A and B are shown apart, each in its own frame.
Chain A
Amino acid sequence: MSEQVTVITGTVGVDAHVIGTKVISRALRDAGFNVIELGAQTPADEFIKVGQETAAHAMLISSLYGMAELDLSGFRDKCVEAGLDEVLLYVGGILGVGRTDFAEDQRKFTAMGFDRVYPPQADIRAAIGDLRHDLTRVGVTAE
């Protein structure tokens, strides 16, 4: 049985870069997802509270100012306490400081409990493909 999939988007912390998350939201909406758009400068806890209210299936979190590791510290653990243990967590953008190796970022954020990690130039269409695949894996069939 297919269902309307709810996805939360936004830029975490005090990061004001809003273009990326707007592009992502638009593409997700066009692809038929129910998108809750939190926009720029969203505290990490806000994602969780909105996730509880909307029974979201996934969160696509953007960060371009290099402080994602700090902003998202303990994020998966908090999701578990909040009953969102099965929510898919994607993070993308400029995650590390300066010219850090993407493989290093990927390793770090995967260890923090994120399902997918994307570099700045990632293609949103590929990410949506990943999302459909991961949703099927957790037993959700998107409309």
Chain B
Amino acid sequence: MSGIRLFIDFGSTFTKVVAIDVHREELLARVQAPSTVATDITVGLEEAFALLSEEVPISRAEREQAVACSSAAGGLRVVCVGLVPEYTTEAGRRAALGAGAKIVGSHSFELTEDELREVEEEAPDIVLLTGGTDGGNKKVILHNARALARSGPGVTNIIVAGNKTAYDDLREIFASSSKNVIFAKNVMPGIGDLAVDSANQKIRELFISRITEAKGMGQVRRSIGDIIMPTPAAVLEAARLLADGTKDTPGRGELLLVDVGGATTDVYSMAKGLPTQGTVKFLGLPEPYAKRTVEGDLGLLHNVDTLTEIAKGERVPVGFEETVQAMCRTESVPAGERQVECHLLLSHVAVRAAVDRHVGSLKLMMTPHGEVVVQRGKDLTEVEWVVGAGGPVAFSSDPKRVLEGALFHDDAPTLLKPKGPRMLLDRHYVLFALGLLAQSEPGKALSLMNKYMVQV
């Protein structure tokens, strides 16, 4: 059998294909063609395959074994329904984000009729129902289950990850409904315990078994090996491998990864994030080691307005706004010195704002015993690596400057951003492929990562 493996990312804008020779641990080619989600996604894939075969000969067998991830057709759209916003609703959101989902709605306490209509109209791929610690509140999750059980066709798949003592009643409530209901373990089994792995796993399983099919990707799925996860989950798996390594090869240690895209900026941290100073008190829900946040308002193409607004707060080059508008009209790589400069500034601002929101922060409180420092969120000041990914960073003329947005700054000393990390870049835009490869051959994926990620 040849060592050539193909990896596909069905994106909302482009379908990317990466060819890797796993025996020789070599990246053979990377191509992309516009995604054709609206009509037939196979067309875009065929085009990408055609481009690929111009660079490297590929066989039918290799195509049929190709492994894919997808964020096409809106991505994996999840609505979270929980109890208290800061606790089980937030725990549910973290489980969904970690599974690579896009959160399209979030509701707490008893759903009202208006909220239920909202969920139906949103027509999410999955509703993640949480609420109550084990042995805790049952009333709210039962109320919300009854509402969801009688909801319209917009609600199809429901994953329950709440108070386990309510499960018998919940089974009864859903028994007479036509919903596909799956039970996972509680995302918050005890006060202050976060346990997102089980819900995370069920979301990914459901994505494979039903959701790609429901999105009209069944045919393309059968023509290749399989679509095994949402794209952000593939990037998260790559980040995990890069940080933790395999049982034979150590990883690089704790890291922060920023993936800047056209529509969103995703931030991943692989770090415990515990206070680095002994006197700091931690408040709020515990943080997951592998954490993903996504900023839906920070994209370099589809919602550049937010970034432009933030950037205007600082020194911008002459004719900044006009240049940005011209750049967005053409929807292509920046051309000319002016556009390049503006693009760099916007990418830097995107990284900075997204990392500001991802990391934890400190707050000073006065007590009779002097000052007490309180931390909420993750302390990432001591992570060893900051990794850049996504087109605007990977293909940037000055990736170091873009990634410097992720660093700690004296002007905002309470934001716990990395202080002295080294920087890595996914120069060849292959992280998603290596995250997919990591599922079957983590060792190979790690050596490829070490070979193709470049230090900047």
Min C-beta distance of B372 to chain A, whole Å? 7
Stretch at the interface among A31-39, A62-70, A116-124, A131-139: A62-70
| Contact assessment for A83 and B136 in the assembled complex, using a CB-CB cutoff below 8 Å | yes
Interface residues in A93-112 by Cβ distance below 8 A to B read: 97-98
* Cβ of A52 under 8 Å from chain B: yes
B: interface residue count bin: 20 to 34
| Size of interface on A: residues with Cβ below 8 Å to B | 21
Interface bits B134-177 vs A (CB < 8 Å: 1, else 0): 01111100000000000000000000000100000000000000
Cβ-based interface call for A19 (8 A): no
Chain B residues in 8 Å Cβ range of A49: 191
Chain B, 100-135, CB within 8 A of any chain A CB: 131-133, 135
User: Which of A65, A66, A78, A85 is B191 in contact with, Cβ under 8 Å?
Assistant: A78
- Cα-based distance from A81 to B132 in the complex (angstroms): 4
Which residues of the other chain, A, contact B318 by a CB distance below 8 angstroms? none
Residue of B nearest to A70 (CB): B365
B29 contacts the other chain (CB 8 A): no
- Find out whether the CB atom of A80 lies under 8 angstroms from the CB atom of B284: no
Q: If the complex has contacts A67-B372, A70-B281, are A82 and B367 also in contact, measured as CB distance less than 8 A?
A: no
Q: Interface-forming stretch among B82-90, B268-276, B309-317, B433-441?
A: B82-90
Binary interface profile of B, 249-291, with partner A (CB < 8 Å = 1, else 0)?
Answer: 0000000000000000000000000000000010110000000
Q: Is the CB of A81 within 8 A of B367?
A: no
Nearest opposing residue in chain B for A74, CB measure = B86
Residues of B within 8 A of A115 (CB): none
Query: With an 8 A cutoff between CB atoms, is A77 at the interface?
Result: yes
Instruction: Give Cα distance in the complex from A119 to B138, angstroms.
Output: 35
- Whether, in the assembled complex, A54 has its beta carbon less than 8 Å from a beta carbon of chain B, the answer is no
Chain B 172-211 interface mask (CB, 8 Å, partner A; 1/0):
0000000000000000100110000000000000000000
* Mask: chain B, 35-70; 1 = CB below 8 Å from A; 0 = not: 000000000000000000000000000000000000
**Chain A residues, Cβ within 8 Å of B135:** 52, 82-83
Query: Residue A82 contacts which of B137, B139, B281, B366 (CB distance < 8 angstroms)?
Result: B137
Q: A52-B136, A73-B283, A74-B86 are in contact. List 19 more A-B contacts (CB 8 A).
A: A48-B191, A65-B369, A67-B367, A67-B369, A74-B284, A77-B84, A80-B84, A81-B83, A81-B84, A81-B131, A81-B132, A81-B188, A82-B132, A83-B133, A83-B135, A83-B136, A83-B138, A83-B139, A83-B163
